[in-house]
Amino acid sequence: MRRIFPLSAGELYYPLTWFRNTFRRFKGHLPLDSIAEQEFNSDHQLDITTDTCPMTFVRTRLALDRMQSGQTLLLRLRGEEPRRNLPRTAREQGHAVLAERELADGTMLLLLRKG
């Protein structure tokens, strides 16, 4: 007999359990990118891919205000406006832009050090 559904209930259970356990381990926040975490060893991380200007700047500024001088912040962002404005604004406010990296999914990683 031919199967109508590609997965049985037991076959579907394991991936859902794995995802739920992984999601709980990161307390609701999945890691940005394991490769990025290794290459950009940072003190703090912030994902602003779903935000638009000016909220990208506001959330970045709040994160930087909570940090001590010399600590690093890894930002994940999407869109032309944040890509242009965030590095420029960070430099204007006395912070250092340590690295920028484009990812295959269209997002950009930006590593800042608080000045």
Residue 92: pLDDT above 90? yes
pLDDT at 34: 47
pLDDT at 5: 44
d(CA 87, CA 112): 8
- Residue 71, amino acid: Q
- What's the CATH number of domain 28-113, 3.40.50.300, 3.40.1260.10, 3.40.630.30, 3.30.110.40? 3.30.110.40
Q: Which residues contact 54 (CB under 8 A, 6 or more apart)?
A: none
Tokens 């590095």 found at: 87
Residue 22: pLDDT above 80? no
Residue 60: pLDDT above 70? yes
What is this structure's pTM?
A: 0.65
Tell me the CA distances in angstroms from 101 to 39, 75, 104, one per residue in order.
10, 10, 10
Residue 25: pLDDT above 70? no
Count Cα neighbours of 75 within 13 Å in the Cβ-side half-sphere: 31
Residue 67: pLDDT above 70? yes
